[in-house]
Amino acid sequence: MAKGAIYRDEAVVLRTYKLGEADRIIVMVTKGRGKVRAVAKGVRKTRSKFGSRLEPTSHIAVQLYEGRELDIVTQAETIDQHRAIRDDLDLITRASAMLEAVDQLAQEGEVNPRLFQMLVGALRTLDGTESPLVVPSFFWKVLSLEGYRPEVDVCVQCGDDGPLVAFDIESGGTLCRTCRRGTAVSAEAVVLLQQILGGRLNEALAEPVSPATHEVDHLATRAVEYHLERRLRSVTVLDSH
C-alpha cells in the first residue's frame, strides 16, 4: 500500500536516467532526507513544466509523494539552475566529479545536511569563480566530514613539523624527509592543503592555476577514490555476514 504522504525538501539533482517510455528517475541529495531516488512522470513525453528543472546540478525546492517503492516528484521550483556551469563544458566536468562523489557517499535514508550544504556551496563557488581548487577543496572537506581529515601540519609518522616533502594517502597525511613515502609534494602544495583544511579556504581559492594546484587536485581525487573503494569493500564485508 502506498503511504500517500506528501513532503517538501530542498535538493540538488545528482543524475537522472530513463524509466519506461516517458518517465525519468531523478537521483538527488536532499537537505532533510539524504539521498532520494524519485520518479518524474511524463517528463520525456511532453514539454513538462518541471522536466527542465530536474537536470544535474539543479538546486531545487521539490515536493514529493511517498510511493510504495519510489517516491514521485509532484513539483519542482528552481532555487539555482547554475546556468554558467551548464554552458561550460569544463565546469560541467568539474561539477560532475562532485555530483558523482556525493552520489557515492550519500546513502538513502541517511540524513547528512552538512554534506548537502557543502555541495550547494561548492556549486555556487564553481559558478562564480575561476579557482582551480573548488573541486579539490570540496573533496578534502568531504573527506574531513567523513572522518578522514588528513594530517597536513606535521609529519603524520613522527610528528616533526617539517619540512614536509611527501603525502601518503594510506598513512593519512604529510611526511617529513626521514619518513617520506607515497607521493612527493612541493612546499607550495603543502601550504595550499594547510589553507584548505585549516579554515583558510578563501586564501586557497584565490590562487591561480599552478603546478601546486595541480598537485592538490591530483591528491584530492586519489584520496576520494581511495576512501570510496575502502568504504565499498567494508560494505561488501558487512553484507556477506
Sole binder of Zn ion in the list 36, 164, 169, 176 (CB under 5 A):
176
Cα(28)–Cα(36) distance, rounded to whole angstroms? 5
Contact by Cβ (8 Å): 215, 184: no
Per-residue exposure over 140-162, b if at least 16 CB sit within 10 Å of its own CB, e if not: bbbbeeeebebbbbbbbbeeeee
Identified binder of Zn ion from the candidate list 16, 112, 137, 157, rule CB under 5 A:
157
- Report the amino acid identity of residue 176: C
Exactly one of 98, 102, 118, 155 binds Zn ion (CB under 5 A); that residue is: 155
Q: Which stretch binds Zn ion (CB under 5 A): 1-9, 114-122, 129-137, 179-187?
A: 179-187
Task: Tell which one of 9, 88, 153, 160 touches Zn ion (CB under 5 A).
Answer: 160
| Cell (9 digits) for 75 | 513539483
End-to-end CA distance of the chain: 31
Minimum CB separation of residue 153 from Zn ion in Å reads 13
Extract the C-alpha cell encoding 148: 578522514
For Zn ion, the binding residue among 119, 179, 189, 196 (CB under 5 A) is 179
Q: Which is nearer to Zn ion, 174 or 213 (CB)?
A: 174
Q: Which stretch binds Zn ion (CB under 5 A): 6-14, 68-76, 129-137, 157-165?
A: 157-165
Q: How far is the CB of 156 from Zn ion (least distance, A)?
A: 8
Contacting residue, 2, 6, 84, 158, with Zn ion by CB under 5 A? 158
Nearer to Zn ion, 6 or 187 (CB): 187
- Nearest-approach distance from CB 157 to Zn ion, in angstroms: 4
114: phi then psi, degrees, rounded to nearest 5: -65, -45
CA–CA separation, 221 vs 239, rounded Å?
27
Which 3 state secondary structure label does DSSP give 120? helix
134 binds Zn ion (CB under 5 A): no
For residue 142, give the amino acid letter: V
* Max CA pair span of the chain: 65
Query: Which residues sit at the interface with Zn ion, rule CB under 5 A?
Result: 155, 157-158, 160, 176, 179
